[in-house]
Amino acid sequence: MEIILPADIERRSMEIIESELGDTSHLSEAQKAIVKRVIHTTADFDYLQNLTFSPNAVEHGLAALRDGAVIVTDTQMALSGISKPALKALGCEAHCFMSDPETARMARERGTTRAMVSIDRAAEAFADRQVIFAIGNAPTALIRLRELMDAGRLLPALVIGTPVGFVNVVPSKELIMACDVPSIVAAGRKGGSNVAAAICNALLYMLYDRESGK
């Protein structure tokens, strides 16, 4: 079996995905690039239909990244999957409060989830920054985002909503899709932290050339 370098594997994978995608007329070129990145991560072509984009969501996300946005994730897995060279080159940051002992303490005291506390902490810590929330695991994080937005306490640059599972997953995503915030959401039960990270990377790679490092 021939040994193929990682860059060549990705290039060939994208060629295969392109050949098998079918009708993409409902997507812009930027949306298509995001869908392809998610399919590359999951090998699941259902995302061609499941991934939903609010009007100008991609443009809002790219503008925030150009402005040095903070990406807030709800899992360390999503955080670890986001390209650090791209973040650095663009002057952006990525953070996750979930594993912080202070988050656990506050959740116990409030009788709520660490995911909800993490959203509260991010809203406070980055009140003066453009923030992209990449939520790939916790429906309660999306629920708390909607609560803070409805209360006028938070206006995200973009919400990426891709929790996976069965309990509160679909309703939490629908809460985000039903509001005016720019959003990219994996409708239905499918998703995951890897999907959230893939969407972040797809946006970053529209602004960052991995070959040149610029």
Active site residues: 40
Q: Is residue 158 classed as helix, strand or coil in its secondary structure?
A: strand
CA distance 209 to 30: 15
CA distance 50 to 47: 5
Distance of alpha carbon 15 from its chain centroid, rounded? 24
What are 160's two structure tokens?
């990426």
Contact 134, 73 (CB under 8 A): yes
- Non-local (6+) Cβ contacts of 22 within 8 A are 48
Question: What radius of gyration do the chain's Cα atoms show?
Answer: 17
Q: Which residue has the tokens 């790939």?
A: 136
- Non-local (6+) Cβ contacts of 59 within 8 A are 30
One-letter amino acid at 43 equals A
Contact 196, 162 (CB under 8 A): yes
One-letter amino acid at 163 equals P
